[in-house]
A = this chain, B = another copy of it.
Amino acid sequence: MDEATTRTLTPTRLADRAAADRAALDALLDEVLVAHVGFTSSEGPLVLPIGFARDGDRLILHGSTGSRWLRVLASGVEVCATVTTLEGIKVARSAFESGMRYRSACVFGQCTVLTGAAAEGALEVFTDRVLPGRTAEIRRSTPRELAATLVLALPITQWSYKSSDGFPEDPAEDLAGDAWAGAVPLRTTHGRPIPAPDLRAGIEVPDSVRRLTEPGPSQNRPQSGPDRVGDGSNSVQG
């Protein structure tokens, strides 16, 4: 998990592989709700967790116009937005071979500021990303709310992707020993919706929330995916 994250783009000589990698990137970006956005501030490096949504070939970020650091992002500084999901623990027969199942990506670039209808549309993409269908259930944002919101777009042009799946790869001498080896999946689930204390009586849980929390195929999986039993090609410590 600590190795070899570089700016290298997927080799174009392997077009199918490249397409598969972009699909893998998009699947990750569409699953995780928070990016860790790093940049070099006047006080040194800073990494902020920011909710995001993928909108085609860009990431949408937003926040308050009162946020000092969001304004720095809006100024066009270089950023690295890293998105990670931890999917399990690889338990090896030694500490050295133990590690994590994960997927992670970095998107590199500069944010641009969206305004007007573009900003409003991007915020709707974000709202429906977190809770699909929510935009249709609530009122439109007011001009005052939109004016208080800074909406940024980060293009998905330079990125890297890395994952580790499967099981530890212990050396032969450890295979012969008595220690257990395997994997412990980690899974994130939505709990039962909790009504706000100030909710008026008689207002039912809306479809957007019900769809998210009811069992069944989900369009909006939270941070961890299903159990993945792959080929264990990447043995990563840490």
Contacts and interface: CB of A to CB of B under 8 A. Distances in A.
A47 to B, nearest CB: 4
Contacts of A54: none
A237 B185 contact: no
Contact of A70 (B2, B139, B178): B2
Contacts of A209: 91, 180, 182, 184
Contacts of A45: 38-40, 45, 78-80
A69 to B, nearest CB: 7
Interface residues of A, number: 114
Interface of A is mostly: mixed
Interface string A186-206: 111111111111111001111
A177 interface: yes
Contacts of A186: 188-191, 222-223
A46 B38 CA distance: 7
Contacts of A205: 180, 182
A145 interface: yes
Interface string A105-146: 010100000000000000110110011001101110110010
A167 to B, nearest CB: 4
Given A34-B100, A180-B205, A205-B180, A189 B187 contact: yes
13 contacts: A4-B68, A34-B100, A36-B47, A49-B82, A51-B237, A137-B180, A175-B198, A175-B200, A182-B195, A186-B190, A187-B189, A189-B189, A194-B227
Given A1-B48, A89-B131, A93-B138, 20 more contacts: A1-B51, A2-B61, A2-B69, A3-B70, A34-B100, A38-B45, A40-B44, A47-B80, A94-B138, A95-B141, A167-B194, A167-B198, A170-B196, A179-B203, A181-B195, A182-B205, A183-B194, A186-B188, A186-B191, A223-B223
